[in-house]
Structure formats: structure tokens, C-alpha cells
Amino acid sequence: MNIPASARPADALDSNWSLVAAGALMTCVAIGVLFSLAVFLEPMSAASGWSRAGISSAMTLAFLSMGVAGFGWGALSDRYGPRVVVLAGTVLLGLSTVLASRASTLLEFQLFYGVMMGIAAGSFFAPVIATTASWFDRHRSLAVSLVSAGMGVAPMTISPLAAWLVTNHDWRTAQLIIGIGAWIVLLPAVWLIRAAPGAAHAAAAAGGAAPAPDMKVGQALRSRAFLVLGITFFACCAAHSGPIFHTVSYAIGCGLPTFAAVTIYSMEGAAGLGGRLLFGVLADRLGAKRVLVAGLLIQAFAAASYLLVNQLGGFYAVAIVFGLAYGGVMPLYAVLARDYFGPRILGTVLGAASMLSSLGMALGPVLGGWLFDRHGSYAWMYIGSMAVGLGAVAIALTFPRTDAAGRAPRLQPAG
């Protein structure tokens, strides 16, 4: 017998932890495969003669493609359900990595690793996070943080694997193995992703905040809440993308061995995992906006702190603070979006926000590579990251007012 979603207890919606596990695995593998390019940057440049800026631009193309595709994937998820979206993304993720490993020119590599992989990666964030937020009412921040934690785990899994593979094989063989491995790991997990039944009605029955019933996507995207959300997300990602991508190369330039430099990347990921859980709990108690602003402020100063270190211990110390901050703030955008806009159009709203964030992520790798090629140093990249990060703090302070518990008000459609 089918029970209306509005009649089901909140516990029924809060019990789908298998979806959380599958979502965390998917974000871990997808982001891990994408960001493993940071490990390949040095050996690829040496083996192929391609410039760092040229190889880094593949990451820029990936973020641009991921952003545009994420908006479309989110809308498709709202309409057809998340499972078909993540299935298509999984197939494309493995295929793009395999094809990139066979690329004979820089342009081919940029198209396969940049455009195609970006489209694939865009299928995971908005649909999976929106689905998770729709399934959970009482433990929403924790569930979203756990799914997002997959991104934090990625540097501790895929990047060390990539470093080991590229040490024992050439970069082409290493990427081929990673692409096939992505299929093997992710295809079974696709079947655990499923849409929440009547999520909008269930949220209303549980007393959760929701937008006005006739709120349309266009009205939501023109609201002040979305503009602040999207621009803050953009600036936040623009601030941390360069340091995330180029710190391995910066550490190697400081004299650290390649594998030791990669462990800095892994340390950021480990701290990011803890940050996601810590910030998620704090957001439930103090309000997502307050925790977001604090995290953005820490992120800005931590980025510039990389200029103060040149030994492994110092890199670890900065990586812990930087990873804690940038990892911790990432789930909060989804929590705020769910509070302001409700579950019915959440996939589309998060897709649009992730498109803006991807534009920010696209700036760091290519600008960092360009600044290094021009000045022979990453100093201006880290200084610029701090400046943009402080801008993100200023923007986040303009979010619409929340109540004493940090809950967002109900949005009304624009007139």
C-alpha cells in the first residue's frame, strides 16, 4: 500500500543512510579523479613538453563545463529523478579519463579531461546533495555534510593512488587505470540513489522552512537570497581553487619530494573532512550564516599563510587550518539553499549556484599557472586568494536576515 509522503513520519525520511554512503562515495571518486590532475601536472609537463598553464587550463575548462552542466543536471534531476543523472555522469566520468589518457595533443587532452570530465563531474554535486537534503529533515545538516565529506576524502584516496601509479607507470597508464577503476566503483552505487517521495509535502508536514507554494525557478534565481548565495559561492571557490591545485607544485618547488608534497594535499583533505562534520554540527546550533562567515574569514588568511612556510611540518600546519575552513564551508551553501528555497526546486537552485561556484573554481588553476609562468613564483596567487576570500566574507554578511536560531525566512515570490 502506498502511503502519502505527508503522512509518513519524519523518521522514515531520516533513515536513508545508504543514500548518504553512496553519495559520499560518488563525490569522493568524481572530485578525486578531477583533482588528481594536480598530481599529474609535473610528470605530464616533463613527458609531453606541454606548459603548466596549458595543462592547468584543462582544469579551468573542467570547472566551466561542470558549472554549466551542473545547472542542466540539477534541472533534469528535479524532473526525472537523480538516478538516471548520476548513471549518465558515471559513464562519462570513466570515459573522459580513459580518452584523456590516450590524448596525443594538448587540445585533445583539454577537451577530454576538461570539457567532457567537467560535464561528467557536474552530474554529482547538485543532484546528490539536493536528494539528500530532501530525504532528511531532523538530521539534514549532518547528512549533507557527510555526503559533502566525500569531496574531503578525495585527496586522501585518489591523489595518493595517482601518485603511486605515476611513480610506477607513465602518466597515460596511470590515468587509464583510474578511469576504469571509476566505473568499477561507481556503477554499483548508482542504484542506491533515489528520489525522496513527495519531498516537498513531507518537509511541510515536518514543519521545515519552504518557499511559497507558487515560487517559480525564475523568481527564486532573481531573489536576493540566491544572488548573495551564488556570488559568495563564486568568491569562496575562486579564493581556494588556486591554492588547492598549485600547492603540490609549490611544495615541490620548495624542495619537497613529490610524494611528500602530495601528502600536503591529503592533509588538506583530511582536515576538510573534519571541517565538514564540525561546521555542519555548529551550523545546526549557531546558524549556517554565522558559521559560513567565520569559515570564509579563516580560509582567506590560511591561503596566504602558505607563503610563510617551506618545510613539511609548516605545510601540514597550514593545510590543516586551510582544509578545515574550505572543507567546512562547502556543505553550508546547500543547507542555506534548502532553508531558503525548499526541496521542490532545490536541484535546479543548487545547480545554478554550483555553476557560479565552478566559474570561481575555474579561475584559480589557470591564473595560478599563468602567474607562475610569468613571475616564476606562486606568491601573487596566494596573496590574490586572500583578497578574494575577504571579499567573500563581505558578500556573505549581506545574506537576508535569519531568526535567533539561524533559520532562513520564507521567501515570497517576486512581484
For the stretch 82-113, pLDDT in tens is: 889 999 999 999 999 999 999 989 999 999 99
Contact between 400 and 80 under an 8 Å Cβ cutoff? The reply is no
Contact between 281 and 335 under an 8 Å Cβ cutoff? The reply is no
Contact between 256 and 300 under an 8 Å Cβ cutoff? The reply is no
- Whether pLDDT at 286 is above 50: yes
Compute how many other C-beta atoms are within 10 angstroms of the C-beta atom of residue 10.
Answer: 17
pLDDT value at position 361? 80
- Per DSSP, the chain holds a count of helices (H) and strands (E) of 18, 0
d(CA 115, CA 58): 8
pLDDT value at position 298? 97
C-alpha cell at 207: 514543519
d(CA 274, CA 145): 10
d(CA 147, CA 331): 9
pLDDT value at position 207? 40
Q: Which residue has the cell 576538510?
A: 272
- Over residues 332-356, the mean pLDDT reads 83
d(CA 148, CA 150): 5
Contact between 271 and 324 under an 8 Å Cβ cutoff? The reply is yes
Contact between 351 and 298 under an 8 Å Cβ cutoff? The reply is no
d(CA 288, CA 370): 35
pLDDT value at position 206? 39
3-class DSSP assignment, residue 399: coil
Domains of the chain: 15-195+212-396 (1.20.1250.20)
- 152: confidence class by pLDDT, cuts 50, 70, 90: low
DSSP string, 154-167: HHHHHHHHHHHHHH
For residue 141, CA distances in Å to 37, 138, 286, 339 come to 30, 8, 12, 11
State pTM to two decimals. Answer: 0.70
